[in-house]
């Protein structure tokens, strides 16, 4: 089948490009399909008439969004609405990726797709609006919420931590928990379920589902410890910084983040017949790719004699 991916340089888009797949994948970067220029994406969808559009583009700068709410909304809500309309008009399905930050995180237990939302920040609110607009514009829409995405590329918590590995100690928030997700696993899951996304409107595949790394939820501090422990074991860093576990109130950021971001993915496993991959295995794979692709990238932080 023919899959049109909106977005090219981002983590998920790169992971989709790296994955092995029997499908024909076409990637459009911002130059060809800018979500703030709704006509562009619509023209591309009409011209290419794919079976499925995967939206891997988004405004993802969580803190900066607090200063740029209009732009976040233009990309994550208006742009998505236009894309969904174009897909509906061309008769093609839409897989749209969303986020755990649509929840307020204010209770224990994993969030199910139909649990009440309540975003705490501009990014989360813009993504929630995008979900609604996509589902309203195209009945053949799968909104796939994911969380804490990391990959060998771009901006993510794993690369941020590796960049700080030379520090003696690091203060990291311990009262926000969630499920980290490898972009490679997410990409492979999307490609694996793609043939199911040719179903007609009303089929059980449409609507909101959750896909996040399986295994125990962790705090950012716990995730950081795991990253450093594995990076040290792989010889990427000489030794792990000491992690000082702090509260979010001790690490002020412009955007508020949910205390409990844990996504319940049982619905995805039921509908698509495959549970998400374990995040700890995803981390191992991502670290090995970073090590292979950029042996010197974190050399300043390695503290290793080379």
Ligand X SMILES: NC(=O)C1=CN([C@@H]2O[C@H](COP(=O)(O)OP(=O)(O)OC[C@H]3O[C@@H](n4cnc5c(N)ncnc54)[C@H](OP(=O)(O)O)[C@@H]3O)[C@@H](O)[C@H]2O)C=CC1
* Residues binding ligand X (CB under 6 A): 7, 9-12, 30, 34-36, 56-60, 75, 79, 97, 99, 127, 146-149, 154
Number of residues that bind ligand TDO (CB under 6 A): 20
Nearest residue (CB) to ligand X, 15 versus 302: 15
170 binds, among Mg ion, ligand X, ligand TDO, none (CB under 5 to 8 A by kind): ligand TDO
Where in 51-110 is the site for Mg ion (CB under 5 A)? Answer: 62
Residue nearest to ligand X (CB): 10
Q: Which of 59, 101, 123, 211 is catalytic?
A: 123
Residue 101 touching ligand TDO (CB under 6 A): yes
Can 59 be counted among the known catalytic residues?
Answer: no
Nearest residue (CB) to ligand TDO, 84 versus 227: 227
Report CA 12 to chain centroid distance, whole Å: 7
Q: Compute the least distance from the CB of residue 95 to Mg ion, in Å.
A: 24
Report CA 185 to chain centroid distance, whole Å: 11
Residue 100 touching ligand TDO (CB under 6 A): yes
146: closest CA among 187, 196, 202, 206?
187
Could you tell me which residues are beta bridge partners of residue 214? 278
The residue from 11, 55, 76, 99 that contacts ligand TDO (CB under 6 A) is 99
- Distance linking the first and last C-alpha atoms of the chain: 47
Residue in the structure block whose two tokens are 């839409």? 94
57 binds, among ligand TDO, Mg ion, ligand X, none (CB under 5 to 8 A by kind): ligand X
178: closest CA among 276, 259, 268?
259
Where in 117-156 is the site for ligand TDO (CB under 6 A)? Answer: 147-149
Residue nearest to Mg ion (CB): 62
Where in 168-227 is the site for ligand TDO (CB under 6 A)? Answer: 170-173, 176, 220
Q: Compute the least distance from the CB of residue 246 to ligand X, in Å.
A: 21
7 binds, among ligand X, ligand TDO, Mg ion, none (CB under 5 to 8 A by kind): ligand X
Q: Which residues bind ligand TDO (CB under 6 A)?
A: 60, 62, 99-101, 147-149, 157, 160, 170-173, 176, 220, 248, 251, 253, 257
């Amino acid at each position: 089948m023919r899959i049109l991916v909106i977005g090219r340089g981002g983590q998920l888009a790169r992971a989709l490009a790296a994955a092995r797949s029997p499908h024909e994948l076409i990637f459009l970067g911002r130059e060809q399909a800018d979500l703030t220029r709704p006509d562009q994406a619509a023209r591309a969808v009409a011209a290419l008439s794919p079976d499925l559009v995967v939206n891997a583009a988004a405004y993802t700068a969580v803190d900066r969004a607090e200063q740029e709410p209009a732009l976040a909304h233009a990309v994550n809500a208006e742009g998505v609405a236009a894309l969904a309309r174009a897909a509906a008009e061309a008769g093609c399905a839409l897989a749209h990726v969303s986020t755990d930050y649509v929840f307020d995180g204010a209770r224990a237990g994993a969030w199910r797709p139909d649990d009440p939302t309540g975003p705490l920040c501009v990014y989360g609110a813009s993504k929630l609006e995008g979900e609604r607009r996509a589902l309203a514009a195209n009945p053949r829409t799968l909104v796939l919420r994911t969380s804490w995405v990391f990959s060998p590329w771009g901006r993510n918590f794993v690369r941020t931590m590796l960049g700080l590995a030379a520090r003696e100690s690091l203060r990291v928030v311990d009262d926000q928990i969630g499920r980290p997700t490898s972009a490679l696993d997410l990409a492979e899951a999307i490609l694996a379920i793609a043939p199911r996304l040719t179903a007609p409107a009303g089929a059980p595949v449409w609507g909101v589902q959750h896909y996040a790394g399986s295994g125990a939820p962790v705090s950012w501090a716990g995730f950081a410890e795991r990253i450093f422990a594995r990076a040290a074991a792989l010889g990427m860093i000489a030794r792990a910084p000491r992690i000082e576990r702090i509260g979010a109130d001790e690490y002020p950021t412009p955007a508020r983040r949910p205390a409990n971001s844990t996504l319940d993915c049982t619905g995805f496993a039921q509908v698509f017949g495959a549970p998400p991959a374990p995040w700890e295995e995803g981390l191992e794979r991502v670290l090995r790719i970073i090590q292979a692709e950029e042996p010197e990238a974190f050399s300043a932080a390695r503290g290793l004699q080379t």
